[in-house]
């Protein structure tokens, strides 16, 4: 169903630039939720996600003429601002955890797990959803973004590439690597309770 011309994003933006608060409010209501969802999945922090969304619309309100219709839709433009804010936020955070864990044979768990499952399979199981979210947040930013866009937001490679500002091949590569790292992390989390149990039993056996 096509949107009436008077309600199109570009028309609303032109009106908002002239001080039409109702048009600005409609733009906000239309795009706030997906922008917030993306920022939350990328940062894992509700406060940071809210700040990103606020920055996006403050930028839009201050500089509405920066939008260039020839370079894409208003939604993509807002998403680009949100992405820049998210990346700046992530750059300020220390990253010390490596996901390059190896199994007993010296093979990287990420490579061994890449074809076993997909993030969607894990996410469909409600009891593991928290683990999935935690594991996604442990991914390096560029891989996390590919997983969030293509797996969680279900965008096409073309759409994800446009929003990320990189070639489709790069998105495919990042998604492949992100899936591998994500599966490796989930395997580590799943095996942790068994390792703790085994260690406990071993200590109990030694004590007796």
CATH architecture of 5-91: Orthogonal Bundle (1.10)
Give CATH 1.10.10.10 domain extents, the chain.
109-203
* pLDDT at site 62: 86
* Among 168, 141, 167, CA closest to 41: 141
Total-model pTM: 0.63
Residue-level pLDDT at 126: 46
pLDDT at 204: 56
pLDDT score for 195 = 47
Distance of alpha carbon 55 from alpha carbon 35, whole angstroms: 11
- Cβ–Cβ under 8 Å, residues 151 and 120: yes
Contact 42, 90 (CB under 8 A): yes
pLDDT of res. 170:
93
Partner residues linked to 108 by β-bridges: 102
Instruction: With H, G, I as helix, E, B as strand and everything else as coil, classify residue 59.
Output: helix
* Domain 109-203 -> CATH class: mainly alpha
pLDDT score recorded for residue 137: 85
pLDDT in tens, the chain (208 residues): 456 656 788 888 888 888 888 988 999 999 999 999 999 989 888 888 999 999 999 888 888 888 888 888 888 899 999 999 998 888 876 543 334 444 444 444 444 444 444 555 444 444 456 777 778 888 888 889 998 888 888 888 898 888 888 899 999 999 888 888 888 777 766 655 454 455 555 555 555 5
Give start-end residues of each CATH 1.10.1740.10 domain in the chain.
Answer: 5-91
């Amino acid at each position: 169903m096509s949107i009436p011309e008077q309600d199109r994003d570009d028309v609303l933006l032109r009106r908002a630039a002239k001080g039409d608060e109702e048009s600005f409010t409609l733009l906000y209501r239309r795009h706030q939720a997906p922008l917030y969802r993306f920022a939350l999945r990328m940062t894992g922090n509700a406060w940071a996600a809210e700040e990103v969304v606020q920055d996006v619309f403050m930028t839009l309100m201050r500089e509405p003429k920066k939008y260039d219709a020839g370079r894409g839709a208003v939604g993509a433009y807002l998403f680009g601002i949100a992405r820049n804010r998210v990346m700046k936020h992530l750059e300020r955070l220390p990253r010390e955890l490596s996901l390059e864990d190896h199994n007993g044979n010296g093979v990287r768990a990420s490579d061994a797990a890449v074809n076993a499952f997909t993030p969607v399979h894990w996410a469909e199981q409600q009891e593991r959803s928290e683990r999935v979210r935690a594991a996604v947040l442990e991914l390096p930013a560029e891989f996390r973004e590919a997983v969030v866009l293509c797996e969680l937001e279900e965008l096409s490679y073309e759409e994800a590439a446009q929003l990320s500002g990189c070639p489709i091949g790069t998105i495919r590569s990042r998604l492949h690597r992100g899936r591998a790292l994500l599966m490796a992390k989930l395997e580590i989390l799943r095996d942790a309770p068994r390792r703790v149990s085994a260690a406990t039993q071993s200590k109990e056996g030694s004590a007796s």
